């Protein structure tokens, strides 16, 4: 009986260690703390914490508590537009990075809300407005 408890504890500790290692690896590779919500909900629910990274014309997001090797969400720059920018309200503040701002975006893949710190938000907006030579800017046509 005691050895069963020991095995469960070792497996649990190993799983938590792998999740922590994955998060640190993503952050060290240039990631930022980001919370994402797929659809707007006024109750403050549905936010998921993760780490976001820029990969060319894509902003890829990895959920913190996921064992997936690939990104959980891919946000493409092409056609992405910002609808609104606001501060978190009430219960939302508990489920996102400290000092975060929220932006609501829509694009070809649907609507998404993204919450990140002010510095990360500045980088995201800069990435969104920049584009490689020869690209079509949706609001310039």
DSSP 95: G
- Alpha-carbon distances, residue 95 vs 85, 92, 108, 114 (angstroms): 17, 6, 26, 12
Kindly report, residue by residue over 109-122, the tens digit of the pLDDT. 888 999 999 999 99
Looking at residue 25, its pLDDT comes to 64
Sign of CA dihedral 74, 77, 81, 85: positive
CA distance 77 to 33: 19
Classified as helix, coil or strand, 98 is coil
Each residue's pLDDT tens digit in the chain (141 positions)? 788 888 888 888 877 777 666 666 655 566 788 889 876 655 556 888 888 989 888 999 988 877 777 888 999 988 888 999 999 888 888 878 888 999 999 888 888 999 999 999 999 999 988 866 555 555 444
DSSP annotation string for 71-131: -SEEEESTT-EEEEEE---GGGGGGS-TTEEEEEEEETTEEEEEEEEHHHHHHHHHHHH--
């Amino acid at each position: 009986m005691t050895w069963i408890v020991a095995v469960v504890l070792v497996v649990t500790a190993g799983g938590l260690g792998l999740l922590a290692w994955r998060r640190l690896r993503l952050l060290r590779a240039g990631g930022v703390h980001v919370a994402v919500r797929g659809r707007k909900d006024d109750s403050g629910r549905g936010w998921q914490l993760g780490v976001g990274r820029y990969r060319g014309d894509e902003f890829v997001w990895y959920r913190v508590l996921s064992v997936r090797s690939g990104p959980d969400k891919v946000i493409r720059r092409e056609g992405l537009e910002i609808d609104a920018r606001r501060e978190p309200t009430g219960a939302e503040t508990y489920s996102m990075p400290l000092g975060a701002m929220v932006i609501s975006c829509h694009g070809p893949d649907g609507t998404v809300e993204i919450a990140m710190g002010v510095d990360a938000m500045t980088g995201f907006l800069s990435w969104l407005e920049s584009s490689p030579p020869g690209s079509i800017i949706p609001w310039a046509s």
